[in-house]
Structure 1
Amino acid sequence: MLKRASAGILMLSGIAYAFYPFNAEDTNTLGSFGRLQIETNYAYFKNYDGSSHQDYILQLTMGITPKVDLAVVFPYSAFRYPDREDLKGLNDASIFIKHILLEQKDLKLGYKITAVLDTGKKGIGYGKPVYNANVMLEKDIGDSTLNFNAFYTKAAQVEELRDIYGFYLHAYTNLYKYLTLGGELKYSIPEERDTKKKDIHILIGAVFHPNDRIDISLGLHKSLNRDKSFSNYGLLAGLLMRF
């Protein structure tokens, strides 16, 4: 359970870029060296095995070049169990770099590389470094955006886990100047070696933009496959500030 929740941090924190609560990484960058972005994100998950966990995530992002961003992520997690003592503390910090390789009119292609460091409290973090790679393809169609993410996570070095791979399909649209609505579908191999079912979930979310420097986000996550190792549903909220 603890390792599974930590992997959830990997998938959530890496996504918490401009369009948290969506899991699919976007292709936006800060656009120039030295520009900064701060995010504080929250997630609550209720699991099929009766447990639950809450994640509080701080992410700091800096522009390196017009097409490259570098970020560090600091999560704090709290777990509640029906049959044993609760656990809370710092989870594994991570660092990632995002690079947009191609930008032609309404089409963008990029990648993101994440290293999850072994910095978490004993019993909460992975206990070993874990690595993740995303490839993002994004297409703008009028006021809407379609996004495809393929990802691979190297986690088999952690006991009871396996390497994970899968994809996200994500679409969002700008309904008004201050509001973006979207949804996504995730399909992946589950991280726990003993789990046979695929990890499939949907997420719907909204991002409110009161101005160019602030985003306020809300999201609802729901698993489409039932297994004791999966989260049943989740609630997400976030605040982003650009400088």
Structure 2
Amino acid sequence: MLYESAARADEMLRLNVEDLYSQDKRGRITAKGGATEWIHWQSGTAQLLPRLIVRRTRGPLFLTNRKAPAGTPTLDVCPETGRARLSYRRAEEIFEENTRLLANPLASSDDIEDLDGWTLHQLRHTALTHDAEDGTSTPMLLTRSRHTSVRSLERYARPSVDAVARHVAGTSSGRGSTLHRGSEIGDRGHVRRSSPRVRLRGVEPAHPGLPCAPRRKLACEAGPAPGPECRGGACSESPVVTDSGSGMP
């Protein structure tokens, strides 16, 4: 649920059953500063939530396995089971212990006591990083993470080395064809205006006074401003045709 929603662990642990809108796959949370905001999840969480809630209709969503000790605030006690809300410290311990082999796939189960597992915060970090690698826009990342500035988002959304390699491999062919098309445009001819004459490369000379051919007309119109020689598409002077090899008229 933390990974799918990219929510902060402490916000998630403050969720109550009545804060869930299961049909819409979203929940209402109390964010930093006391503001009410929304988190969204996917099908995996939607399938598991009923098993977690069972028949409860109110109270803390995540509970310990024990009855709440005396003096526990009422808001942190399930009114239907009497169990206490799961604390951040205990949730972190459970998650870290159960992910030690996942975080160290080459390690042996005999060494599990000496291994370190993942942290709850890494789920949020990983979710935002994967979103960034998948091309999620910056406005969407800001909304999903509920950050207020791009600077605060930067430390989360850092694509991995493998993601950068996939990106380069996936875009290399497209970039190459774009560069080639640009090169072709440059090779077809350079139209520039110098003096009152229209200089073209690689076109047949025109007779004075005849209407410009399409390419000549485009060349005439491409100048900073039509000169007196260009009257409504009729050139009073022949364009100068330069040889592509020597550059001489």
* Structure 2 length-normalised TM: 0.23
Bigger Rg, which one: 2
The structure with the greater share of residues assigned to strand is 1
Pick 1 or 2: higher relative contact order, CA cutoff 8 A, min separation 6.
Answer: 1
* Structure 1 length-normalised TM: 0.23
The structure with the greater share of residues assigned to helix is 2
